Amino acid sequence: MRRRVAEFSEEARADLFALYDRIADAAGPQVAFGYVSRLEEYCRGFDIASERGHLREDIRPGLRIVGFERRVTIAFAVTDKRVIILRLFHGGQNWTELDWTAKD
């Protein structure tokens, strides 16, 4: 099994902060911090067995999609040495309509 470095794109990092703000407004900062921490830990776990989820070559070459706790869709790509978390979509956001031009 190949080990890769898992990292967040700028867009995914912004998604993580926006998700924190959204949850903090609704349920408080402690709940938001706990949820975002679990999500970030889950994503960092892609360093092993990286090629998981559903391959969505129809949207972008190499795009993979996996869910987290039935509320977040994680979009990522796998290279020889890295797993790049591209975006994080919460609560049914429409991720299929985005411009998926490779930026990594």
pLDDT digits (tens, 9 = 90+) for 56-98: 988 888 899 999 998 899 999 999 899 999 999 987 655 556 5
Number of H helices, E strands in the chain: 2, 5
Q: What are the tens digits of pLDDT across the range 3-52? A: 899 999 999 999 999 999 999 999 999 999 999 999 999 999 999 888 88
What DSSP string runs through 46-94?
Answer: GGBS-S-SEE-TTTSTTEEEEEETTTEEEEEEE-SSEEEEEEEEETT--
In a domain, 102, yes or no: no
φ, ψ of residue 66 to 5 degrees: the values are -145, 150
Q: What are the tens digits of pLDDT across the range 45-63? A: 999 888 889 999 888 888 9
Query: What's the domain range around 50?
Result: 5-90
Q: Are 76 and 85 in contact (CB under 8 A)?
A: yes
Q: Are 97 and 64 in contact (CB under 8 A)?
A: no
In a domain, 99, yes or no: no
CATH number at residue 35: 3.30.2310.20
pTM reported for the whole predicted model? 0.84
In a domain, 100, yes or no: no
